Amino acid sequence: MTEANETPPIHGGAVAAVAELLGSARLMALGVNRPDGWPQVTTVGYVNDGLMLYFVIARDSQKYANLQADPRVSAAIRAEGAQADTVGVSIAGRAVEVTDPAEVERLNRMVFERYPEAGAFCPGGASVAVMRLAPEIIAPVAVIDGRSRAQTYSIGAGGAPDPDPGAGRGVSALF
């Protein structure tokens, strides 16, 4: 058992459940830190690769300037459909710009495969930035006996473990 102030590391079953939820949604509420200390929260579209989230923002936006000054972010995502008992997830991490053209191309292919009707992440020159949100803390929320319950997990320096395909679905995979 961990102490109250310790956050247990995420396990493969929780990784699988959270990745499934992330793959079911398209929008997240993204909170960044403004220079005056106030949070700025906006809704942005995203695509995930496991627990890693990718999104596009304008380089001339307040959000981009805020991220350049402080890359710490929080994101909240609600399940859009039935995802077992998982109803949402809160993620804290750091957002950094993706500058590798090969990675941007891989993300474009991923977007086209998942959402054929959507546009691509193609950065059109200096106007937009493709960003990667690398989670450090993940808190999935499930409904148990009609009540919401969250479990907070940490992601170590080595990243999240591989999803546990035998973990099954539902609350038992999260907690």
Task: Summarize pLDDT for 11-61 with one digit per residue, the tens.
Answer: 888 899 899 999 989 999 999 999 999 999 999 999 999 999 999 999 999
In the structure encoding, which two tokens stand for residue 175, read together?
């907690």
Q: Is residue 86 a contact partner of residue 21, using CB atoms and an 8 Å limit?
A: yes
| pTM of the full structure | 0.83
> Strand 52-58 to strand 27-33: parallel, antiparallel, or no bridges (unpaired)?
unpaired
Range list of H helices, 25-164: 62-69, 101-114
Q: Count of H helices and E strands in the chain?
A: 4, 9
pLDDT tens-place string over residues 92-103: 999 999 999 999
Please name the amino acid found at residue 80: E
- Of all residues in the chain, what percent carry a pLDDT higher than 90? 56
Strands (E), 66-146: 72-78, 86-97, 128-144
- In this prediction, residue 94 carries a pLDDT of 98
Please name the amino acid found at residue 130: V
- In this prediction, residue 2 carries a pLDDT of 45
Farthest CA pair distance, the chain: 51
- In this prediction, residue 100 carries a pLDDT of 95
In the structure encoding, which two tokens stand for residue 154, read together?
């940490």
Torsion of CA 118, 48, 114, 41, to 10 degrees: -30
10 Å Cβ neighbour count for 150? Answer: 13
Domains of the chain, each with CATH number or no CATH:
12-155 (2.30.110.10)
Determine whether 147 is exposed, middle or buried from the number of CB atoms within 10 Å of its CB (0-12, 13-18, 19+): exposed
Q: Which residues are bridge partners to 153 per DSSP? A: 138
pLDDT tens-place string over residues 97-135: 999 999 999 998 998 888 887 765 555 557 899 999 999
Q: Which of 78, 75, 77 is nearest to 92 (CA)?
A: 75
